[in-house]
């Protein structure tokens, strides 16, 4: 048997590894998107969770968008095409439709369509089931080969939807900025403010876009059934929702606590003459590390339900001059 030179064997091994890992590469040419195209739901769908694809193929991320929808709601083809897939993957019903070079996916959706069947834009392709990664939502995906694309590209040319497109693009840009800043050792001081995020009188943002479900003060603890101080403000949001730095600062600590789950502390220094610190609790994970500088609006983590928690939410805490305070008195 002929033995290959060592450098050639290494080169072949590297090539084999790269083909197995299938690292997603940015599409070099603009994808050929089906036209016309539209939303997979009737009315004016609300984006619950935007597109934030992982930098690496195997990393976690959100490879599509989540639209608020009721179980049993009819799901529509986003463009004309051919049914590529309509069955369950790991117990989750998925429908996918080919539109030339791109494919749209819909889950969890049960369909009676057959593979190879032709569908038209707006045609009912199935009904929404429960059991996806968010409660009451349709996960809508768009891909071109191995590349995941933002499905909002399909509806971005419609009036009134551009804000959502900008928001999801901002998320990708911010993630790239954070990765670059992490590599460089210091974050860039941009003030990336999410358009729909609320800005308080001291210039602090709400760290998640979600309803306040429990305020600061005495309450009967939902799990421990005792009256105690609820030492922060709860924002309800689906697991995976972006948590953003409410203000520029430095990450001082990040650790797990059995009650607060995954915690992250930010020190914002002196703001309007007050020393301000914030803490984030119950997150699924954080994307920044102690010592790192963060800018206002920067993506710092994802909402979760770690620790003593009854569901996905962010428990935000604020200290003013070292005194634990009502976050809403400052935000």
CA distance linking residue 167 with residue 102, whole number of Å: 23
CA distance linking residue 27 with residue 149, whole number of Å: 9
Among positions 106, 315, 317, 325, the unique one binding Zn ion when judged by CB under 5 A: 315
For residue 182, report the phi and psi dihedrals to the nearest 5 degrees: -65, -40
Least distance to Zn ion, CB of residue 213, Å: 8
**Cα Rg of the chain, angstroms:** 23
Q: Is 99 in the site for Zn ion (CB under 5 A)?
A: no
187 vs 283, beta carbon nearer Zn ion = 283
Least distance to Zn ion, CB of residue 273, Å: 28
Least distance to Zn ion, CB of residue 36, Å: 24
Least distance to Zn ion, CB of residue 179, Å: 21
Partners of 230 in the β-ladder: 217
Q: Is 171 in the site for Zn ion (CB under 5 A)?
A: no
181 vs 283, beta carbon nearer Zn ion = 283
Number of residues that bind Zn ion (CB under 5 A): 4
Applying CB under 5 A, the span of 6-14, 53-61, 134-142, 191-199 interacting with Zn ion comes to 134-142
Among positions 53, 234, 248, 266, the unique one binding Zn ion when judged by CB under 5 A: 234
Applying CB under 5 A, the span of 52-60, 131-139, 151-159, 166-174 interacting with Zn ion comes to 131-139
What 67-71 contacts at long range (C-beta under 8 Å, 24+ apart), as own/partner pairs, is 67/39, 67/40, 67/41, 67/137, 67/138, 67/140, 68/136, 68/137, 69/41, 69/45, 69/128, 69/136, 69/137, 69/138, 70/128, 70/136, 71/128, 71/129, 71/130, 71/136
Angle among Cα 100, 104, 107 to the nearest 5 degrees reads: 155
Applying CB under 5 A, the span of 146-154, 204-212, 226-234, 316-324 interacting with Zn ion comes to 226-234
For residue 8, report the phi and psi dihedrals to the nearest 5 degrees: -70, -40
The H or E element containing residue 182 is: helix 162-184
For residue 138, report the phi and psi dihedrals to the nearest 5 degrees: -105, 125
What 222-225 contacts at long range (C-beta under 8 Å, 24+ apart), as own/partner pairs, is 222/310, 223/308, 223/310, 224/308
Q: How far is CA 86 from CA 71, 90, 110, 122, in A?
A: 18, 13, 8, 17
Least distance to Zn ion, CB of residue 214, Å: 6
34 vs 151, beta carbon nearer Zn ion = 151
Partners of 103 in the β-ladder: 98, 143
Least distance to Zn ion, CB of residue 93, Å: 14
Q: Is 66 in the site for Zn ion (CB under 5 A)?
A: yes
177 vs 234, beta carbon nearer Zn ion = 234
Applying CB under 5 A, the span of 62-70, 75-83, 106-114, 252-260 interacting with Zn ion comes to 62-70
187 vs 242, beta carbon nearer Zn ion = 242
CB 199 within 8 A of CB 191: no
76 vs 316, beta carbon nearer Zn ion = 316
143 vs 315, beta carbon nearer Zn ion = 315
Applying CB under 5 A, the span of 84-92, 132-140, 144-152, 216-224 interacting with Zn ion comes to 132-140
CA distance linking residue 15 with residue 74, whole number of Å: 45
Among positions 99, 139, 206, 277, the unique one binding Zn ion when judged by CB under 5 A: 139
Applying CB under 5 A, the span of 82-90, 172-180, 244-252, 313-321 interacting with Zn ion comes to 313-321
Give the residues lining the site for Zn ion (CB under 5 A).
66, 139, 234, 315
């Amino acid at each position: 048997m002929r033995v290959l030179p060592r450098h050639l064997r290494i080169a072949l091994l590297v090539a084999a590894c790269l083909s197995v890992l299938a690292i997603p590469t940015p599409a070099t040419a603009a994808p050929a998107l089906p036209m016309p195209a539209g939303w997979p739901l009737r009315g004016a769908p609300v984006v619950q969770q935007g597109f934030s694809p992982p930098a690496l193929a195997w990393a976690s991320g959100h490879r599509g968008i989540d639209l608020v929808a009721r179980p049993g709601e009819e799901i529509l083809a986003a463009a004309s095409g051919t049914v590529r897939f309509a069955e369950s993957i790991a117990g989750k019903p998925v429908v996918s439709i080919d539109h030339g070079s791109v494919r749209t996916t819909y889950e969890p959706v049960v369909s009676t369509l057959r593979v190879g069947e032709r569908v038209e834009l707006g045609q009912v392709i199935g009904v929404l089931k429960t059991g996806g990664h968010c409660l009451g939502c349709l996960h809508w995906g768009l891909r071109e080969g191995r590349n995941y694309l933002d499905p909002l590209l399909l509806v971005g040319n419609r009036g009134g939807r551009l804000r959502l497109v900008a928001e999801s693009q901002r998320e990708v840009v911010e993630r790239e900025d954070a990765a670059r800043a992490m590599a460089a050792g210091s974050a860039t001081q941009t003030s990336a403010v999410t358009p729909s995020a609320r800005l308080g009188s001291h210039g602090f943002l709400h760290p998640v876009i979600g309803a306040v479900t429990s305020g600061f003060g005495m309450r009967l603890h939902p799990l421990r059934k005792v009256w105690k101080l609820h030492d922060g403000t709860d924002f309800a949001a689906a697991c995976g929702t972006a948590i953003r730095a409410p203000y520029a600062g430095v990450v001082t600590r990040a650790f797990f606590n059995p009650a607060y789950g995954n915690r992250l502390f930010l020190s914002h220094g002196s703001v309007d003459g007050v020393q301000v610190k914030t803490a984030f609790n119950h997150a699924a994970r954080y994307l920044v590390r102690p010592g790192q500088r963060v800018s206002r609006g920067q993506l710092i983590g994802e909402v979760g339900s770690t620790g003593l928690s009854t569901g996905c939410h962010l428990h935000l805490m604020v200290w003013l001059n070292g005194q634990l305070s009502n976050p809403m008195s400052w935000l």
